[in-house]
Amino acid sequence: MAAGLLSPTMAGRALALDYLPEEQERQMTIKAANISLYFEWENKPYIINLIDTPGHVDFTGKVTRSLRAIDGAIVVVDAVEGVMVQTETVTRQALEERVRPLLYINKIDRLIKELCLTPDKMQKRLASIINDFNNLIEMYAEPEFRNKWKVSVETDTVAFGSAKDKWGFTVSIARERGIGFKHVYEAYETGNVGFLQKKVPLYEAILRMVVKHIPPPNVAQQYRVPIIWKGDLDSEVGRAMLACKDDGPAVMCVTSVKVDPQAGVVATGRLFSGVLKKGMEVYLINAKRKARIQQVCIYMGPHREIVEEITAGNIPALLGISDARAGETLATVPDVAPFESLKYVTEPVITISIEPKYSRDLPKLVSILRDMSIEDPNLVVTINEETGEYLISGLGHVHLEIAIGEIQKRGIEIVTSRPIVVYRETVKTSSPVFEGKSPNKHNKLYISVEPLEEEIVEMIRRGELHDQMDRHAVARLLRQRGWDSDEARGVWAINEYGNIFVSVAKGVAYLDEIRDTIITAFNWAVSEGPLAGEIVRGVKVVLHDAKVHEDPVHRGPAQIMPATRHAMFAAILSAEPLLLEPMLRLEVKVPAELVGSVTKIISHKRGRVLNIQHAEYVTVVTGEIPAAESFDLADVLRSATSGRAFWGTSFSRWQPVPKNMQEQIIAQIRKRKGLPPEPPKPEDFLGP
């Protein structure tokens, strides 16, 4: 409204950036939407590049991707609900990307209408929210930003208001206009909210706060680039990015990819240096390809506006870069170090199988699924070759509901299965060394497995340890965590699921020639474990020795891959294999008298209560439940609390399935996948 893009009568109700029909129906943000706003303050013009991101935990991946493109975040907190699980998740993500958070406490009207608080009690409630928010900054910010970025009313880094009613203020605006919580209380009591809208329009508080406290790109990039880009900061590219120079090489990090039916792939992201124009040739650093920009645009909500050129610090949308994916580095010069990979805080843990109702729609379905997985990397699509099923894995029930709705909206009738939980396989102990023979018996590999330390698995999941890293850096990191020098130096592959392949074999002839084949076989084996064909997690695979045939004809992939996989499977099955299930962290806010009902539900669902915190108006119950028990959670909580519970879940960790249930669950998974009901034994992989 302030930028002249929306009429004052529609502001607060138009949902201009929630323009998808599903978003308007569900009253929730589902995708990230970009817009560039013009604002003048103290006779100085500003451009504010804003990305509106979802708050629901199932769409956290969109927040992760958007954070790479921005320098500051307005974290919106409900005045009644306060700081929630998801507030903590997004604030932590922002701080990890060195994005400065500001706080806006919304729905102040609820404190008056629902909780009937006096102005004094309102201020106490708001002070406790600010305190909780600062505790998150204390917990997750790096030491140099911890105190600098804490929010307070005195510094105008906190705003209060009601977006629906279009009013809001920071403390300095309140003093300037002679207004306080007493006047807010009176306005609602007398029904004269229009007075607040005129006196303290919300846009002024928010946009002033942004201009005053979120640094411009040339300042922010000086401390952000070193954490998100590990190239040489003294190089031409490094210096151009630190200073956000227009006259340096163009370097852009792609943060969002959309597939437009008319225009094709649209790659959007942050331009850290240089200028982009139509017709320029750019290098896709990760994809190792070149492309030519066909059009340069900026997003204005649902619309793309074509521009002649775009300068450093902005968020361009480019056409013509068909191979771009989120996290890709685009540059006008070759050999630029890529940006750090995006670190997602949750993993896809719920899966459904889908197939078209009519077989003629199969090619169209395949095309739609391909486009959807390009647009949303957290939506994992796999094809089960044996059963011909298409499996979609998402971060939660809502994520999958939206995906199914999207397919149906494009005119395909589909049949879906009930949601199923994704499991992982791992080992509890170390295995003996097993010999894997190639089918022609001319090659032998000697392999053992052991559990990988949870700390290392977490480092891989967070992207701090990955396959593209320099091997000396990997060895140094692992030695610091107590690894033997030979093993740390012998890392051949780090798998994204949290597995590492190590070779300690010495003086084996022709081993280098089959190295890539062994790594491919390792990745193949951990993508479908022996217990139930689920992904393997947290396993260290060690190659101790090998006998390799001198003739290349006898040591091809068809010989080496089965030998590697068989030895690995035999080792995994003899090392007390376990099935892991995903656990969800559950946070429920309820009136004190209903706490018993909530704890009973958590216990009944194989969960455990971690904490019960009594606040003044509401009690917060924090617990953990298996994802497998969460399918009817909404209905159960709603009926047990008469709809008075406000709750959220987020992925917490992987935990071994209870011993008494493991066999039954493995049998169910194997049956679903069309595998023999009994899991194999080590000797099944050891041939004569």
Express each pLDDT in 492-547 by its tens digit. 999 988 999 999 999 889 899 999 999 999 999 999 999 999 999 999 999 999 99
Q: Hey, what long-range contacts does 390-394 have (CB within 8 A, 24 or more apart)?
A: 390/353, 390/354, 390/355, 390/365, 390/366, 391/351, 391/352, 391/353, 391/354, 392/351, 392/352, 392/353, 392/354, 393/348, 393/349, 393/350, 393/351, 393/422, 394/58, 394/348, 394/350, 394/351
Section 6-30 average pLDDT? 70
Section 632-657 average pLDDT? 85
Section 601-620 average pLDDT? 87
Topology (CATH level 3) of domain 350-419: Alpha-Beta Plaits (3.30.70)
- Backbone region of residue 176 per phi and psi (left: phi > 0; alpha: psi in -120 to 50; beta: other values): alpha
Instruction: Output the average pLDDT for the chain.
Output: 89
Checking if the pLDDT of 428 tops 70, the result is yes
Please check whether residue 35 is in contact with residue 50, taking contact to mean a CB–CB distance below 8 angstroms.
Answer: yes
| CATH 3.40.50.300 domain residues, the chain | 72-214
Topology (CATH level 3) of domain 219-331: Elongation Factor Tu (Ef-tu); domain 3 (2.40.30)
Amino acid at 220: A
Architecture of domain 72-214: 3-Layer(aba) Sandwich (3.40)
| Residue 387's pLDDT band (cuts 50, 70, 90) | low
Mean pLDDT lowest for which of 88-102, 294-308, 569-583, 630-644?
A: 630-644
| Residue 430's pLDDT band (cuts 50, 70, 90) | very high
For the chain, what percent of residues have pLDDT higher than 70? 97
The pLDDT score that the predictor gives to residue 381 is 86
* Interval 41-99: pLDDT, tens: 888 999 999 998 887 777 788 888 999 999 999 999 999 888 887 888 889 989 999 99
At residue 665, φ and ψ (nearest 5 deg) are -65, -40
580-657 CATH: 3.30.70.240
Q: pTM for the complete prediction? A: 0.77
Checking if the pLDDT of 436 tops 90, the result is yes
The pLDDT score that the predictor gives to residue 273 is 95
Section 374-400 average pLDDT? 81
The pLDDT score that the predictor gives to residue 68 is 92
CA dist., res. 250 & res. 310, Å (int): 10
Helix (H) or strand (E) holding 171: helix 171-177
At residue 213, φ and ψ (nearest 5 deg) are -115, -20
Checking if the pLDDT of 7 tops 80, the result is no
Which class would CATH give 425-575+680-685? alpha beta
- Backbone region of residue 442 per phi and psi (left: phi > 0; alpha: psi in -120 to 50; beta: other values): alpha
Please check whether residue 602 is in contact with residue 623, taking contact to mean a CB–CB distance below 8 angstroms.
Answer: yes
Output the furthest CA–CA distance in the chain (Å, rounded): 92
Taking Cα atoms as reference points, which of 404, 321, 318, 399 lies closest to residue 356? 404
- The bridge status of strand 303-306 relative to strand 329-331 is unpaired
The pLDDT score that the predictor gives to residue 21 is 72
CA dist., res. 606 & res. 420, Å (int): 17
Taking Cα atoms as reference points, which of 530, 459, 531 lies closest to residue 495? 459
Please check whether residue 53 is in contact with residue 66, taking contact to mean a CB–CB distance below 8 angstroms.
Answer: yes
Measured in whole angstroms, the distance separating CA 389 from the mean position of its chain's CA atoms is 26
- Which of the pair, 654 or 395, is modelled with greater confidence? 654
| CATH 3.30.70.870 domain residues, the chain | 350-419
The pLDDT score that the predictor gives to residue 23 is 65
Section 231-252 average pLDDT? 93
Amino acid at 332: T
| CATH 3.30.230.10 domain residues, the chain | 425-575+680-685
Checking if the pLDDT of 386 tops 70, the result is no
